[in-house]
Amino acid sequence: MAQQITLIGGGLVGALLAQQLAGRGFKVDVFEKRPDPRVAGFVGGRSINLALAERGLQALRKAGLADDVLQRAVMMRGRMVHTRDGRSGLLRYGVDDSEVIWSVSRGALNMLLLDAAEAAGVRFHFGQSLTGADFDGGRIQLTDEHDQTRDFDTPVVIGADGAGSALRAAMNAHTPLGERVEPLGHAYKELEIPPAGGLSAALVGQSGGHDQFALEPHALHIWPRGGYMCIALPNTEGSFTVTLFLPAHGPHPSFDTLPDAAAARGFFGDEFPDLLPLIPDFAADYDSHPVGTLSTLYLQRWHLGGRALLVGDAAHAIVPFHGQGMNCGFEDTVVLAALLAEAPDDTAEVFAEFQRIRQPNSDAIAAMALENYVEMRDSVADPHFLAKRELGLLLAERAPQHFMARYRMVTFTHLPYAYAFERGRAQDLLLEQLLRGSTEAAAVDLTAAVATLKATLPPLPDLR
Ligand code: FAD
């Protein structure tokens, strides 16, 4: 008889994991709090679009879904940095168009994954929230939108129910999981740049010949302003989703001091003068879109023996500044599905092994995502940072076996996050030594720098 597994949450990670488990012969039920988005329309809540990178793509390739997803995605070659005086320039992510990231719609991706999971035999139960669990009795409680509660027997339950996981709360009540949530202190709000057709012709001059878009579409746009920033990611139909990141509370500017559009318009006009005119519904967007909070979640225990396990954001929610939360969750699904397929009857061992493999990596990406916030909002406009970046590019060109920028390791390879974190730290130290505080990469003797690099750091692992 097929082994039964119950998932809580049919979001991005839950739907992909369900598809992979069903494809390996498991009998999978998924309980999802929201109604079926393919019937009711997608109920957003957070980030309308997301950056998909190599790790996520690799998981989608293994599930046979990468081509379908890429057909609905917009390629982004690098960061387009917009300065206060209205200038902009592209900082490429990789060496060429083989190293790009993709902007995908959360709703479209979720629906595609639900279709794929259903086609693989997964049974979805929409409009059903997990509201309790009896782990010793092998039973969970579910409540529907009419407040009707029912029990469901299941020997194994996996929580893919996101950062506010109800399964995690139930597990924690049974056996403390060693939970620590560290709020970032900064929050976000989403706004929209409509397709170029909806804007006056005078404003549409920056799209690099892509008439449908008001800005260059093949880039992740950043307006770095030191302690805060805006970013914008393109959508296939020509719009951009803009996200304002700002301190949640405290002195100006913060969401406390900019509570509504009337207060925020002047701030935008001063800080983002080229962006404001591209958001014609600024007042409506600002006043109706919620302020989202951001935190990092650390857990000592991800599972209760072989009975319950947490994956994706439920186990390791991170701040979004490396664009890796979903990518990391998708990597989880590949590792977990393979481990479960090898030992379907030994979930206790599989869950322990899953945590052993994944936790050092989720800790590393959590730290890198926090560091990346400073890089995006501040360092991309700093001459010393730009000199380090330039010297790194030169070293990577001269000694590709020995130097690869950390961002590239995280975004375009499958090297473990923990490796990228450690290697990145060592490389950064070396760049600091070579530059000695200078802002001139050209002033460094490259031949000597390459010799020092090779003498200091071992070659990178094989990337193929
Ligand atoms: P979720 O997407 O949160 O899904 C959880 C699901 O569980 C939902 O469908 C929910 O309805 C359901 N659920 C919740 N509670 C219950 C319950 N009690 N019972 C049943 N179902 C329940 N990641 C990237 O890789 N790239 C990016 O560019 C990126 N940008 C981001 C920008 C922002 C502003 C934010 C906030 C996050 C971003 N992320 C990004 C992170 C990404 O959104 C998450 O890592 C990803 O959504 C995690 O997927 P998940 O399935 O684990 O959780």
> Is the same domain home to 142 and 289?
no
Q: Which atom of ligand 1 is nearest to the CA of 51?
A: 28
Q: Is 160 in the pocket of ligand 1 (CB under 6 A)?
A: yes
Residue 10 pLDDT class (50, 70, 90 cuts): very high
Q: Is 11 in the pocket of ligand 1 (CB under 6 A)?
A: yes
Look at residue 80 and tell me if it is in a domain: no
Q: Which atom of ligand 1 is nearest to the CA of 31?
A: 20
> Is the same domain home to 140 and 233?
no
Cα–Cα distance, 152 to 248 (Å, whole number): 40
Look at residue 85 and tell me if it is in a domain: no
Which CA distances in Å does 299 have to 136, 322, 332? 22, 20, 16
Cα–Cα distance, 101 to 104 (Å, whole number): 10
Percent of the chain whose pLDDT exceeds 70: 95
Look at residue 343 and tell me if it is in a domain: yes
DSSP output for 45-103: -S-SEEEE-HHHHHHHHHTT-HHHHHHT-EEE-EEEEE-TTS-EEEEESSSSTTS-EEE
pLDDT of residue 464: 64
Predicted confidence (pLDDT) per residue in 66-103, tens digit? 999 999 999 999 999 999 999 999 999 887 899 999 99
pLDDT of residue 6: 98
Q: Is 37 in the pocket of ligand 1 (CB under 6 A)?
A: no
Given a contact cutoff of 8 angstroms between Cβ atoms, the answer to whether 432 and 450 are in contact is no
Q: Is 332 in the pocket of ligand 1 (CB under 6 A)?
A: no
174-201 b/e (C-beta count within 10 Å ≥ 16 → b)? eeebeeeeeebebbbbbbbbbbbeebee
Q: Is 32 in the pocket of ligand 1 (CB under 6 A)?
A: yes
Look at residue 115 and tell me if it is in a domain: yes
Distance 263 CA to ligand 1 centre (A): 30
The domain spanning residue 26 has which CATH number? Answer: 3.50.50.60
Look at residue 86 and tell me if it is in a domain: no
Last residue of a domain, one of 339, 371, 403: 371
Look at residue 93 and tell me if it is in a domain: no
> Is the same domain home to 143 and 21?
yes
Predicted confidence (pLDDT) per residue in 118-136, tens digit? 999 999 999 999 999 999 9
Q: Is 320 in the pocket of ligand 1 (CB under 6 A)?
A: yes
* SS3 readout for 103-171: EEEHHHHHHHHHHHHHHCCCEEEECEEEEEEECCCCEEEEEECCCCEEEEECCCEEECCCCCCHHHHHH
Quote the domain boundaries for residue 171: 4-73+102-181+295-371
Number of domains in the chain: 3
Cα–Cα distance, 201 to 178 (Å, whole number): 56
> Is the same domain home to 29 and 159?
yes
> Is the same domain home to 19 and 53?
yes
Predicted confidence (pLDDT) per residue in 185-206, tens digit? 999 999 999 998 766 665 555 6
Q: Is 410 in the pocket of ligand 1 (CB under 6 A)?
A: no
Atom 45 (ligand 1): residue with closest C-alpha?
325
pLDDT of residue 375: 83
Which residues are CB-contacts of 420 (< 8 A; sequence separation ≥ 6)?
A: 364, 368, 406, 409, 410, 413
Last residue of a domain, one of 371, 394, 417: 371
Last residue of a domain, one of 268, 293, 318: 293
Average pLDDT taken over every residue of the chain? 94
Residue 378 pLDDT class (50, 70, 90 cuts): confident
